[in-house]
A and B are shown apart, each in its own frame.
Chain A
Amino acid sequence: MEPTPWDPEGVTVVLDHDGQLVGGAQPSGLDTKQFYKMLVAARCLDLRLARSGLPMWASAAGEEAALVSTALVSRERDWIYAGFRDVAVALARGLELDAVVAGLFSGEAASPGRIASATHRIAPPTDALGMHLALASGRAHAQKLRGDGDVTFALFGEGLTTTGAFHESSMLAVSNALPMVMVCRSQLWPNGAPAEAGAVGDSVSDRAKAAGFFVRRVDGADALGTHAAITAAADRARQGRGPGFVEVVVTQMHRDPPAHRDPVERLRRHLDKTGAWTQTLQDVIEAEVRGGLDRALEAVQSNETAEA
């Protein structure tokens, strides 16, 4: 398969461009059909919210594999510290659609568009850039002292990796061997990186390795590979073997990449090959999520009208 400029190098591939399992690897302990449903739900949620007029809304289309995998790998007692566009985590962690939508418009998180839930152990992003990583490392420190095998996940994008908060939190996690998994989405820039990615573009996992993390670099378009890498880091952290850092190279859908860069489409191709995907299945999943979303958004808007 001819790689395109959008495809990351130096990653372990589980699903190739056509959705074939590479080397006959079988994903263990993962219901791929259920996983696919969540990816589709996350995409529908993203597309619908993009039209809802939320302030500061940023699309995460193309990043679903990292978000959904983190939620699926996490256990009930674990905590997830989410970033600004990580709503899909809440959905995959079992929050009802209405609760997710209501939370986005007026929830526990500090401002609209962010997600938080104390019952589902999802912490909101912080005002100060990257400070949620330090709250997460503190949580992981407590989990280590308890020794119950709980893990804290922190989600962010590579843009945060230039901040002091990222470096200091990383040092706290590594030097104390904390049960923490950092899931960092990065991007490739076929036409040259902008200043904010700058000289540090495409080097996140190398820097994390130098800092002392257990590191995996995966392709975010390969949902099964992403899930496997986050699982490996989480298992290791759970066993008390120190923090993990998973760099997930994603391609944002609004940049109009080739279809195989879409994690939803790539897993669909896989399910199609095994006969698990049908157009009817697709229609049913989408109808269910879209219907639920429309109802939830209507409820939020009628509440707003009633309050006004």
Chain B
Amino acid sequence: MNLLQHLATVIADLLRADASRVVLGEDVADGTMLGLTRIAAEDPELAPRLLSTPLCPSVMPAHAAGLAAEGFRPLVVCTEASALLDAIAALREAAKLTAPVVFIAPFGPGFGLGGGATEGPESSLARIPGVRVVVLSDANDAGATLRAAVEGWAGDEPTVLLVPRTLALAEVGEATEVLSRPFAAPRRVREGEAATVFTWGACVAHVQAAVANSGQDARIVDVECLAPLDRAALVEEAKATGKIVIAHSGPARGGVGAELAALFADDAILTLDAPVLRVTGDDGPLTATSEGKALPSLDALTTAITHVATY
């Protein structure tokens, strides 16, 4: 079963568990382009709560917030995260109302689309006050992460759950039923003392390969929640080694990586023993044929990790 298929079973379970949950989006009554509601659509008990809408990207979060104001808990399925960039004003209104709405959207490179899929929508979304931005990185944990978001583990603010396209079709092995760790919190995916690599989304697996390649004892921290940042926990991870690499897909310019670098300059400068390096995708614009440049290369990651760890 691939990740999208697995998420479809989780979405059906979530609808079954709570009658106030509804799904909004294009074609949700027919399963959606990504198949995320395919299982729910086959269940006559759940089908009435699959609310297909016309394409209304710029107001959808506000519409969902209106539903939430009446006690419903909407899950909005977006065909791609760039739809949410059209919706920044509406997201702001939803956040002002602390509307318990979850958005799930694929983003980043992986389907050979180029263009918007090579940019980093997460940095624009992370700037909206009161919106939580969570990026999936582990196919086995993804379903449990969606469940935690919908169940409001971290609070009732609007939550954007971004699914890296590189992960969308990944095979799910042992799916986690319920997260055994906090939701929307930084997570150490590899222990190490020589350097700390902060990353998220599609880049997490990439960084694991690069660390193995480099032979350095670097720890890897999956930031997971890009807004709000758990500043204290992230600073602790930075101070632990004093040597920092930040890696993510999409352009470096104005990204969350820059925010992290500034955070460490603010709160950990006296414990830093090397320059803070950012390794990211190309600034673009990129096309379908150059989509691969949206992810940092294994070489660039390996070089940066080695450079910082041996500085």
B221 at the interface (CB under 8 A from A): no
Instruction: With A141-B51, A142-B71, A142-B72 as known contacts, state yes or no: A128 contacts B89, CB within 8 Å.
Output: yes
Q: A138 and B63: CB pair below 8 A? A: yes
A205 at the interface (CB under 8 A from B): no
B265 at the interface (CB under 8 A from A): no
Residues of B within 8 A of A176 (CB): 51, 53
Q: B69 and A175: CB pair below 8 A? A: no
Bound-state Cα–Cα, A171 to B26, Å: 13
Instruction: With A134-B90, A138-B64, A175-B53 as known contacts, state yes or no: A164 contacts B70, CB within 8 Å.
Output: no
Write the nearest CB–CB distance from A4 to chain B, whole angstroms. Answer: 39
B67 at the interface (CB under 8 A from A): yes
Residues of B within 8 A of A1 (CB): none
Q: A142 and B67: CB pair below 8 A? A: yes
Bound-state Cα–Cα, A175 to B93, Å: 23
Write the nearest CB–CB distance from A284 to chain B, whole angstroms. Answer: 40
Cβ 8 A contact of B89, one of A110, A131, A143: A131
A196 at the interface (CB under 8 A from B): no
Bound-state Cα–Cα, A138 to B68, Å: 8
Write the nearest CB–CB distance from A288 to chain B, whole angstroms. Answer: 35
Q: A128 and B70: CB pair below 8 A? A: no
Q: A139 and B69: CB pair below 8 A? A: yes
Instruction: With A126-B93, A131-B93, A134-B90 as known contacts, state yes or no: A168 contacts B67, CB within 8 Å.
Output: no
B: number of interface residues (CB 8 Å): 27
Within 8 A of B (CB), among A121-145: 126-128, 131, 133-143, 145
Contact with A along B49-76 (1 / 0, CB 8 A): 1010110111110111111111110000
Bound-state Cα–Cα, A175 to B68, Å: 20
Question: In this complex, what residue of A is CB-closest to B57?
Answer: A168
Bound-state Cα–Cα, A239 to B71, Å: 22
Max chain B CB contacts within 10 Å: which of A137, A142, A176? A142
B92 at the interface (CB under 8 A from A): yes
Residues of B within 8 A of A251 (CB): none
Q: B63 and A137: CB pair below 8 A? A: yes
A102 at the interface (CB under 8 A from B): no
Max chain B CB contacts within 10 Å: which of A138, A139, A141, A143? A138
Q: A138 and B62: CB pair below 8 A? A: yes
Q: A141 and B93: CB pair below 8 A? A: no
Write the nearest CB–CB distance from A144 to chain B, whole angstroms. Answer: 10
Q: A169 and B69: CB pair below 8 A? A: no
B22 at the interface (CB under 8 A from A): yes
Bound-state Cα–Cα, A145 to B56, Å: 20
Bound-state Cα–Cα, A251 to B53, Å: 37
Q: A128 and B65: CB pair below 8 A? A: no
Residues of B within 8 A of A128 (CB): 89-90, 92-93
Q: A135 and B62: CB pair below 8 A? A: yes
Write the nearest CB–CB distance from B46 to chain A, whole angstroms. Answer: 13
A296 at the interface (CB under 8 A from B): no
Q: B65 and A138: CB pair below 8 A? A: yes
Q: A134 and B66: CB pair below 8 A? A: yes
Write the nearest CB–CB distance from A118 to chain B, whole angstroms. Answer: 10
Bound-state Cα–Cα, A242 to B68, Å: 21
Residues of A within 8 A of B89 (CB): 127-128, 131, 165
Q: B69 and A142: CB pair below 8 A? A: yes
Within 8 A of A (CB), among B83-105: 89-90, 92-93, 96-97
Q: B72 and A145: CB pair below 8 A? A: yes
A146 at the interface (CB under 8 A from B): yes
Residues of A within 8 A of B54 (CB): 168, 171-172, 175
Q: A172 and B53: CB pair below 8 A? A: yes
Q: B71 and A165: CB pair below 8 A? A: no
Q: B67 and A138: CB pair below 8 A? A: yes
Q: A131 and B72: CB pair below 8 A? A: no
Residues of A within 8 A of B96 (CB): 110
Cβ 8 A contact of A134, one of B59, B68, B71: B59
Q: B53 and A139: CB pair below 8 A? A: no
Bound-state Cα–Cα, A299 to B40, Å: 57
Cβ 8 A contact of B62, one of A134, A140, A142, A145: A134
Bound-state Cα–Cα, A110 to B93, Å: 11
Residues in chain B within 8 A of chain A (CB atoms) = 22, 49, 51, 53-54, 56-60, 62-72, 89-90, 92-93, 96-97
Q: Given A126-B93, A138-B64, 9 other A-B contacts at CB below 8 A?
A: A110-B96, A127-B92, A131-B59, A137-B59, A139-B67, A141-B51, A142-B70, A145-B72, A168-B54
Q: List 12 A-B contacts (CB under 8 A).
A: A126-B62, A131-B59, A134-B90, A134-B93, A135-B63, A138-B62, A139-B66, A141-B51, A142-B66, A168-B56, A169-B63, A172-B54
